[in-house]
Chain A
Amino acid sequence: MKKRNYLTLFLTLIFLMSFASVGWSKNLFHSGGSSTMLQILKSLLNPNLSPELLKLAFESSWITVAYAAAGISLALIIAFVLGIPASGVLTESTFGKWMSFTVFRGILGFMRSIHELVWAWLFVAAIGLSPYAAIFALAIAYGGALGKIFAELLQTVPQEPIKALRSAGASKLQILIYGYLPQALSNMVSYSMYRFECAIRSSAIMSFVGLGGLGYQIQLSLTELRYNEVWTFLFFLIVIVSAVDLWSSLLRKKMAEAAASRLSFVKLSTVALAAIAAASWMFIYIAEAASLLDIFNAKNLEHTKDFLSGLLGIGQAEPAFFSLESWKNAIRLAAETLHISIIAIGLSAAGMLLTVIPAARNAAEGTLTLKRKWYNWPLYLFTSGLYIISRSVPELVWAMIIVYILKPGILPGAIALALHNFGILGKLCAEVVEDLDLRPVRNLASSGASSGQILVYGVIPAVMPKLLSYILYRWEVIIRTTIVVGFVGAGGLGQQFKLSMSWFHYTDVTLILICYLLLVALVDLFSEGCRRIIQ
């Protein structure tokens, strides 16, 4: 308990120091930045709903969903192929276990360490502008994430039925399909649905490497300063993401239910999801005229070879990764990236902590503090609506908007990341509050505690450890995304990555990726250590 308090204090101090070192001054705003902000906010109230624009919005929404569905279906295959061996359930020998834990975990870790947009950019550089660049990028990054979770789910399945199958003479593979997979399936489905929701957001930002979809339209409207169109597209994105979110929570509920009706809903959803995936592949193959075989032609092979040898610095006099000067620069940028991520997680955590109580359903119903006020429900609807909007919009899109208001630098990137993660953290943490065991609260109330006292003594201590580990977990995600907001001029490794890519300084790119991977690994390690202290 003591240790945890020290840790919280320590982390808060780090955040405050980072926040203080931003270099605050009036210079942070563009001249006219504040009036731009007002314009953007005003156009929120009158989005462009003309028929032509709506048609365009529907079309680009479909492109976004299609890339996401195609990417996630490929990611699922990768996740099974790599996640099952990574779980170690098929091996018994020490060597086999070692193989599964280091080799397969390593591959999965590498795949998910690099953000999907970075993968997409690398693919575009290698195979040219094709929908497959986006799809492969999503498949690799999400395959890595899904595979890791699948492996963990398989490992934590109840063991009694597995032992029973073993003693009934089932082989390893038979135990896998009769014991491990059926038991882990419902968790796998709900995590995959959650990932599908994320993939839609990621797919929307694939515009950044030149691919179509909602992100592309948002970018276009922003450059032409038509903010009312921006909001139209954003609303479409918000609706799609919320719909998938709703679908997945409904599916999760139905799968857990014992009622007979569950079968029909679950079956219907399975069919619908398969149909979406099939339609997406058909669309990409036919309407986008992107043949999968076409990209494996001699020209692309040559491109890929050139690109890869460029990355490896083959035939170059001074590859960046052998130059001390370049390393110094890259490490400075890595520190800047870390700085951005700390401000981002700190801001979103602060925002979440201020709003999480009213955003919990049990607070709105009055069961949490045992007091019902008229403003509980409106407050609940307002905060949870805020969460939905903030998390439906990808950090890169937030960043694109913010760079119209703030000058490039550390702050716009941090704010964009904070805005997106505020909604995610808020939702996760509100669920923690909703799942709270309410008996101690009733106890406090019956000994005469006021609402405020109940919060301070009953609620906050009970939920804090979980909230803290969610914050740390989100920080791990943020560090991966920090590179991405750098693309729009938010500083750090991302900005340098973009510059080096456009100048074809490929050895610089390699160096940046090395630093990026090291940074991600470092943050993962630190955060894991902290979470262990918390538990």
Chain B
Amino acid sequence: MSSKQMFALNNISKSYGEMKALSSLSLIVEKGEMIAIIGPSGAGKTTLLNILANIIKPDAGEMTVDSKPLTCYKTPKLFAHKVGIIRQQFDLIGQLPVIQNVLAGRLKDWGLLKSLISLILPQDKVQAVKALERVGLSDKVYERTANLSGGEQQRVALARLLVQKPEAVLADEPVASLDPARAEDVLFMLTKLAKEENQTLIACLHSVEYARKYFKRIIALKAGQVYFDLPAEELKDELLASLYSLGDES
């Protein structure tokens, strides 16, 4: 087992009552990979991401993160050093200023007292401001987060990830509620930052077009199984058509 593996999944299954979300799924993700997960609604994309994020437990199968089983990550704080998550734009506390939402990425390293003080006197401010500069929001440091546009809020979430500095980033439909121009902007930034930070990036996307444009490896899920797993440039239109076809679902 090489230590270059970020995630390794072996025969993972998960069902919700009668519904099988994932059935015997196996997957290896190397460090530094840029992966897009696509597939029709209900194919198990979100379930897979939540399992990778250690939010839900699979019913069966094994998984390692950075070549260690999950039992090695005893606290959420330890796991947060390995894996960070970005979702649709509802991840932020709208009532807090932008800088506090960015600094939430530091909570894993802070004690309670420091966290309390930081609400009044932001701690590690330089780091947060730098992160906001990198996402182009240096003029919004003390703005109330709810006042920002959807695209700007997603960039705040990216700045939080920059401060959190996980080894892998999981993105669950990060641009689902944005208009095309802003969606491209956020995806461009997400992939660029991941490259610069040498992070592994796995994103669930609705749009095949974005997946092709911004990612190197594309994994398609259908009915809880890997339908195909290809480099982005080898993706054929016929394959996509059958991925999204309604006929042979079962």
Contacts and interface: CB of A to CB of B under 8 A. Distances in A.
Q: Are A and B part of the same complex? A: yes
Interface of A: 158, 160-161, 163-171, 173-174, 177-179, 182-183, 185-186, 258
A178 B115 contact: yes
Contacts of B93: 161, 178-179, 182-183
A205 B93 CA distance: 42
A298 B159 CA distance: 60
B90 A166 contact: no
B90 A186 contact: no
Interface string B59-96: 00000000000000000111111011101101111111
B181 interface: no
Interface in B78-122: 78-81, 83-85, 87-88, 90-96, 100, 104-105, 107-108, 110, 112, 115-116, 119
B84 A168 contact: yes
A164 B110 contact: no
B115 A183 contact: no
Given A166-B76, A183-B95, A171 B147 contact: no
B92 A161 contact: yes
A160 B177 CA distance: 15
A164 to B, nearest CB: 4
A168 B157 CA distance: 11
Contact of A164 (B81, B83, B92, B100): B92
B95 A182 contact: yes
B154 interface: no
Given A160-B87, A161-B92, A177-B116, A170 B53 contact: no
Given A160-B87, A160-B90, A258-B144, A168 B95 contact: no
25 contacts: A160-B88, A161-B94, A163-B91, A164-B87, A164-B104, A166-B76, A167-B55, A167-B76, A167-B80, A168-B80, A168-B84, A168-B85, A169-B80, A170-B104, A173-B115, A174-B110, A174-B112, A177-B115, A178-B100, A178-B119, A182-B96, A183-B93, A185-B95, A186-B95, A258-B147
Nearest to A160: B90
Interface in B101-150: 104-105, 107-108, 110, 112, 115-116, 119, 144, 146-147
A419 B83 CA distance: 61
A164 B84 CA distance: 9
Contacts of A185: 95
A169 B107 contact: yes
Given A167-B53, A169-B108, 18 more contacts: A160-B90, A161-B93, A163-B55, A165-B107, A167-B76, A167-B84, A168-B104, A168-B164, A169-B78, A171-B76, A171-B77, A171-B112, A173-B112, A174-B112, A178-B104, A178-B107, A182-B95, A258-B147
B14 interface: no
Contacts of B55: 163, 167
Interface of B: 53, 55, 76-81, 83-85, 87-88, 90-96, 100, 104-105, 107-108, 110, 112, 115-116, 119, 144, 146-147, 157, 160, 164
A171 B144 contact: no
A163 B80 CA distance: 12
A53 B186 CA distance: 68
B91 to A, nearest CB: 4
B81 A169 contact: yes
Nearest to A259: B147
Nearest to B163: A168
Contacts of B85: 164, 167-168
Contacts of B116: 177
Contacts of B92: 161, 164
B115 A174 contact: yes
A170 B78 CA distance: 10
* Secondary structure class of chain B's binding surface, majority of residues: helix
B76 A178 contact: no
Most buried by A among B85, B100, B107: B107
A15 B164 CA distance: 62
Nearest to B78: A169
Nearest to B146: A258
A168 B108 contact: yes
A170 B100 contact: no
A437 B164 CA distance: 45
Contacts of B90: 158, 160-161
Contacts of A163: 55, 91
Nearest to B109: A169
B105 A177 contact: no
B127 to A, nearest CB: 15
B174 to A, nearest CB: 12
B16 to A, nearest CB: 18
Contacts of B78: 169
A85 to B, nearest CB: 16
A158 B95 CA distance: 12
B95 A174 contact: no
A91 to B, nearest CB: 15
B140 to A, nearest CB: 13
A320 to B, nearest CB: 50
Contacts of A165: 104, 107
Given A178-B96, A182-B93, A168 B105 contact: yes
Contacts of A174: 107, 110, 112, 115
| 6 closest Cβ pairs, A-B complex | A169-B80, A169-B108, A164-B91, A160-B90, A170-B107, A169-B77
A45 B90 CA distance: 57
Most buried by A among B77, B78, B85, B93: B93
B206 to A, nearest CB: 18
A158 B146 CA distance: 14
Contact of B108 (A158, A170, A177, A179): A170
A185 B94 CA distance: 12
Contacts of A170: 76, 104, 107-108
Nearest to A161: B93
B8 to A, nearest CB: 20
Contacts of B77: 169, 171
A161 B85 CA distance: 11
A424 B77 CA distance: 49
Contacts of A158: 90
A154 to B, nearest CB: 14
Most buried by B among A169, A177, A186: A169
A270 to B, nearest CB: 13
A173 B112 CA distance: 7
Given A158-B90, A161-B90, A169 B95 contact: no
A152 B90 CA distance: 21
Contacts of B76: 166-167, 169-171
A160 B172 CA distance: 12
Contacts of B81: 169
Nearest to B77: A169
A177 B104 CA distance: 11
A167 B168 CA distance: 12
B164 A160 contact: no
Contacts of A167: 53, 55, 76, 80, 83-85
